[in-house]
């Protein structure tokens, strides 16, 4: 892991509080807010990698992951979140 990169295990337990038909959307939202809080940035500055987005949505909109391991790297003034 190079300088400027971090790995996190993001707990997605709060997703289960959302309605069943919105759990994948809520997982993306929880992931963005978690990363924004830990890198001290706005949620709009956090960009998800397409492969990570595909993984979140791979179980459909109703079933969600309980936790997910991600790698966060800084690119200029944005933060890229991807799979490790």
- Which neighbouring-strand residues pair with 78? 75
CATH number for the domain including 28? 3.10.440.10
> Chunked in runs of 10, what are the mean pLDDT values of the chain (84 residues)?
88 95 96 97 97 97 95 95 97
How many domains is the chain built from?
A: 1
Q: How far is CA 41 from the centre of its chain?
A: 14
Range of the domain at 66: 5-82
pTM: 0.92
Q: Please tell me what DSSP assigns to residue 36.
A: H
């Amino acid at each position: 892991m190079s300088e400027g990169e971090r790995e996190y295990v993001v707990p997605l337990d709060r997703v289960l509080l959302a309605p069943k038909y919105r759990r994948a959307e809520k997982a993306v939202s929880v992931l963005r807010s978690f990363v924004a809080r830990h890198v001290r940035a706005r949620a709009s500055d956090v960009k998800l990698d397409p492969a990570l987005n595909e993984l979140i949505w791979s179980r459909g909109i109703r079933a969600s992951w309980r936790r997910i391991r991600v790698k966060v790297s800084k690119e200029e003034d944005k933060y890229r979140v991807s799979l490790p």
